[in-house]
Structure formats: C-alpha cells, structure tokens
C-alpha cells in the first residue's frame, strides 16, 4: 500500500488538466478498451444493438467519466484515510455490478492499460514515468478493492 504525497500530487495535477477535456478523453479511454479487448463490447448495455461507440449517449458519457474520476478521488482519499473510499457509491455496489456483468480479473488489466494510455496521450509533454506510476498504483488499489468485494459476493 502507501500512496506518497508526490504520487497524490501527480494524480491531482494531471486530473486538473484532463478534467477540462472530459468528453473527448472518456471517448478515447473507452475506444482504447475496445481496441485492446473487442469482446468487451458485449458486456456494456449501452453498446448492445449498435456498432458505434455512443459518444452522444449521456449514459455512456457519465459512465466513462465516473471511472476516471473515481480512480483519482479514491487515490486522494487513500492518503487521508489510509483505505480505499469511493464517492457517490459503495464498493459493495461496484463489486455487485461487475460480478453481475461477468467481469473477471484479467479485464482489469485491459482497463488499466487503456487508462494509462489515455493519461499519457492527454498529458503530452507533461507526462512522466513517475506520473504513470502514480496512476497505475491508484488504479491498482481501487481495482483490488473492487475485486475483493467481487470475491466476497461470489
């Protein structure tokens, strides 16, 4: 565990930049998920019966933004409270949703890869290995918390 002050500030700093471009980045993030794992398409209710990524679908937008936001916010709270806390919801609910949708552990690597690439593209010159590591760790800690919840509920 352990999320350093430096890592926290790297995540915060990049989130401040990315926040200004959320619709585009969310779309990019999700496109990368489907590029890495095309089969994941069938898991998402908002993609059924369509061949396109529903960039104008408000439900899709809200989902993608939430995933981004949650990773950052849980990372910040991690340092303050020394455990994973997610806003607007509970880990129990996140565990239940993902379990029900048939998400398995290897899928979390796909989403991680897509998230890290999105950050890299978004940050351009400001991107660094250290920033990448901070996002990777923030994501991992949240993913582990969700996976634990899924295990407990399975």
Interaction site with ligand ISQ (CB under 6 A): 30, 63-64, 67, 111
**Contact characters 35-54, ligand HEM, x per CB under 6 A:** -----x--xxxx--------
Does residue 64 belong to the site contacting ligand HEM (CB under 6 A)?
no
Task: Give the shortest CB-40-to-ligand HEM separation in angstroms.
Answer: 5
Dihedral sign from CA coordinates of 123, 127, 130, 136: positive
* Interface residue with ligand HEM, options 4, 90, 92, 97 (CB under 6 A): 97
Report whether 111 contacts 33 (CB < 8 A).
Answer: yes
Taking Cα atoms as reference points, which of 142, 140, 146 lies closest to residue 93?
146
Does residue 111 belong to the site contacting ligand HEM (CB under 6 A)?
yes
For residue 58 the two structure tokens come to 């408000």
Q: Which helix (H) or strand (E) holds 112?
A: helix 105-123
For residue 110 the two structure tokens come to 């796909």
Residues in touch with ligand HEM (CB under 6 A): 40, 43-46, 62-63, 66-67, 70-71, 94, 97-98, 101, 103, 107-108, 110-111, 139, 142-143, 146
């Amino acid at each position: 565990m352990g999320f350093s002050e430096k890592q926290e500030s790297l995540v915060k700093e990049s989130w401040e930049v990315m926040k200004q471009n959320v619709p585009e980045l969310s779309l990019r993030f999700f496109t990368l998920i489907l590029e890495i794992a095309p089969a994941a398409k069938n898991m998402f209710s908002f993609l059924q019966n369509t061949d396109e990524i529903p960039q104008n679908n408000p439900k899709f937008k809200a989902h993608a933004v939430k995933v981004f936001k949650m990773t950052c916010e849980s990372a910040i709270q991690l340092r303050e409270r020394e455990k994973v806390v997610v806003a607007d919801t509970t880990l129990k609910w996140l565990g239940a949703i993902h379990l029900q949708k048939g998400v398995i552990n290897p899928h979390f690597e796909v989403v991680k890869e897509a998230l890290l690439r999105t950050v890299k593209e978004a940050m351009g010159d400001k991107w660094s290995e250290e920033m990448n590591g901070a996002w990777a760790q923030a994501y991992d800690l949240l993913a582990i918390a969700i996976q634990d919840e899924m295990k407990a509920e399975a």
